[in-house]
A = this chain, B = another copy of it.
């Protein structure tokens, strides 16, 4: 007998991973059906199902009814990245968080922002610029537009004490969102705010959240030079 006890779905997952990593099951191979594995491992089909579904979620297996389960030919692995509240991210690094409101106006957005907010007509929108600091040093610059109709409460919040990032996360639930990552050269404004050189490469996150079919807010987060976002796979 070779096997250790295989009882939990995590055990099953581990065994399947071993067989893939040892190349006993290669990319493209058809795996035994759930009932067969259940027999082999001496457990319920439900347990096998849980394990395989979990692996399919990470992109390592491809499952289709009737067609069965295969090792993914192109294992497009999926990485989960946590989108933290900036204050949390800074404090978790053991640094002192501080925050400074740069500007807070009610204004007509430029066309590109109006498009990103999916506004039906030209309406005034809350525009907030703020700087987040770690140990007193500029960490990230937040440039945000908030749709008054979608988040009326936001109009009465005092954003000198609390960042819009934090307030929105805690008070504006959303039904969907999108996020984009890119790189940009520091312009005049960014270099002053982040106290870096003009032209420096900056990491940029653009975020947008929706409540049903209405955009709540869109924001650019422009990080100081040398910022890295990382995660495990």
- Give A contacts to B, CB under 8 Å: 17, 20-21, 23, 27, 59, 73-85, 88, 169-170, 173-185, 199-204, 209, 211, 223, 225-233
Smallest distance from the beta carbon of A194 to chain B beta carbons, Å?
A: 12
- Please tell me if the beta carbons of A177 and B233 are within 8 angstroms of each other in the complex: yes
- Please tell me if the beta carbons of B74 and A180 are within 8 angstroms of each other in the complex: no
Which one of B21, B27, B178 lies within 8 Å of A232 (CB-CB)? B178
Which one of B76, B177, B182, B226 lies within 8 Å of A82 (CB-CB)? B76
Which one of B177, B178, B183 lies within 8 Å of A184 (CB-CB)? B183
Smallest distance from the beta carbon of A95 to chain B beta carbons, Å?
A: 18
A76 cross-chain contacts in B, Cβ below 8 A: 82-85, 88
A17 cross-chain contacts in B, Cβ below 8 A: 175
**Given A83-B233, A177-B233, A185-B185: 14 more A-B contacts, CB < 8 Å:** A20-B173, A21-B211, A59-B82, A73-B170, A76-B82, A77-B82, A78-B83, A81-B81, A176-B233, A178-B231, A179-B232, A180-B228, A183-B201, A183-B225
Which 10 residue pairs of A and B lie closest in terms of their CB atoms, listed nearest first?
A183-B183, A180-B230, A177-B233, A201-B201, A183-B201, A183-B203, A185-B201, A182-B228, A181-B229, A78-B80
Given the known A-B contacts A77-B82, A77-B83, A211-B21, are A184 and B201 also in contact in the complex, defined by CB atoms under 8 Å?
yes
Which one of B75, B173, B179, B199 lies within 8 Å of A23 (CB-CB)? B173
